[in-house]
Structure 1
């Protein structure tokens, strides 16, 4: 009986030490305690495919698909212009820099990673990052916002894309973005 009593006290003391040591971890807050914000953005991406100053350039393609009539396995780099409107003379508010991988199958799709950096207005110096599958030939599609910096720190959300204009030399895409951030 005395041995059981001593063993019980040893277990109580041991368990109290474990609880004290784990308190250090329970004190840490993983996120900034500022309230969450939701921001809606609306802008147009202007991409030039050919000509004097293209903003999208193919940098690699698999040898087995070089002669294909459908783009497949093409890696492109982009430095597109962001504007308030679809017109050429619209105010420039930033640029989208990143990579796109063109795929093909039943529909032409791509995987895009772009950092949308804002250089004017309320969000000057901030950016959002998009990394998502993009069904390029669909007139309307949704892509994921996976991060951000500046005023869009720890961003997440989505962007609804609508092809506004498309021909062999230029593309204009309308972006309606919902960003959740701190």
Structure 2
């Protein structure tokens, strides 16, 4: 009985078939071992919505119970405070007065990240304690040029009712006490979430 040797064209077809079934499909397929596509309905997500809420952020650096404390000092003499970092647990209220209804806390840090101006890097969670948003958070991470009238920073995520959140916040200084360093900042938050 004679053996039939594969031709170069049949070898090419076998090689391509091997690549498609064992190399290309696993990489581009829906299920690749540790990664798979999940239907959003599995998590109870319905239609995405846009929420707008307005809150006031109180940065209290003075007195016996500051909500913002410096954890580093600059290693160089800088007019911008370059290198200073504050940890915060600031009240978030419904109105501009500290005595207005508490709706959450801003927890995280801000640090002076510019040598040319007072420009902060802000990294904080708005942890809500009020109503249906109790226990939910949004995460803000961005640049804050404090002398600009309006500063915009991205919302990069969240938890609870804000899972998969994205959006932005606009910060406007409401009051700043030059003697104490305390500030109240209005935050308009625009958040896409399920």
Aligned mates of 2:49, 2:155 — CA distance in 1: 15
Note if contact 2:157-2:164 (Cα within 8 Å) is conserved in structure 1.
yes
**Matching residue within 37, 61, 65 for 1:29:** 37
1:47-86 paired onto structure 2 within 5 Å:
47-65=59-77, 68-86=78-96
Q: TM-score when scaled to structure 2?
A: 0.80
C-alpha distance 56-8 of structure 1, shift in aligned 2 (>3 A): closer
- Secondary structure at the aligned position of 2:7 is classed as helix
What is aligned with 2:134? 124
- Secondary structure at the aligned position of 1:138 is classed as coil
Provide structure 2 residue ranges, at least 5 long, that are not aligned to the other structure. Answer: none
Matched, 1:179 2:183: no
Note if contact 2:85-2:112 (Cα within 8 Å) is conserved in structure 1.
yes
Q: What does the per-residue CA deviation read over 1:117-163, in whole Å, with 9 as the maximum and x for residues that have no partner?
A: 00111211000111101011222110111111111111111001111
What is aligned with 2:111? 101
**Matching residue within 155, 159, 165 for 1:149:** 159
Aligned mates of 1:132, 1:23 — CA distance in 2: 34
> How many residues are aligned here?
180
C-alpha distance 145-11 of structure 1, shift in aligned 2 (>3 A): same
